[in-house]
Amino acid sequence: MSDSNTLKLAKALIQRPSVTPDDQGCQPLLAERLQAIGFEIEHLRFGEVDNLWARRGKAAPLFCFAGHTDVVPTGPEKDWRFPPFSAHEEDGLLYGRGSADMKGSVAAFVTACERFVAEHPDHRGSIAFLITSDEEGPAKNGTVKVIETLEQRGEKIDWCLVGEPSSTHKLADVIKNGRRGSLGANLTVHGIQGHVAYPHLARNPVHAFAPALLQLTTEVWDQGNDHFPATSFQISNINAGAGASNVIPGKLEVQFNLRFSTELNESVIRQRVEAILNQHALDYEIDWQLSGQPFLTAEGELVDAIRKAVKQICAYETELSTAGGTSDGRFIAPTGAQVVELGPLNATIHQLNEHVSIADLDNLSRIYQRTLEYLL
Active-site residue list: 70, 135
C-alpha–C-alpha distance, residues 337 and 178, integer Å: 12
Number of C-beta neighbours around residue 33 at 10 A = 19
Which residues contact residue 228 at a Cβ distance below 8 angstroms, ignoring those fewer than 6 apart?
Answer: 178, 180, 261, 262, 263, 294, 296, 322
Phi and psi at 224, nearest 5°, equal 70, -165
Torsion of Cα atoms, 133 then 139 then 141 then 143, to 10°: 70
> Which CB contacts under 8 angstroms, 24+ apart, belong to 349-352?
349/100, 349/101, 349/165, 350/72, 350/101, 352/74, 352/75, 352/79, 352/80
Q: Is 360 left (phi over 0), alpha (psi -120 to 50) or beta?
A: alpha
C-alpha–C-alpha distance, residues 367 and 305, integer Å: 10
Strand pairing report for 62-68 and 126-132: parallel
DSSP letter for 58, please. Answer: S
C-alpha–C-alpha distance, residues 156 and 262, integer Å: 24
C-alpha–C-alpha distance, residues 333 and 328, integer Å: 9
Q: How far is CA 355 from CA 24, 98, 365, 373, in A?
A: 20, 8, 17, 29
C-alpha–C-alpha distance, residues 305 and 61, integer Å: 14
Asked if residue 34 lies in contact with residue 54, where contact means CB atoms within 8 angstroms, the answer is yes
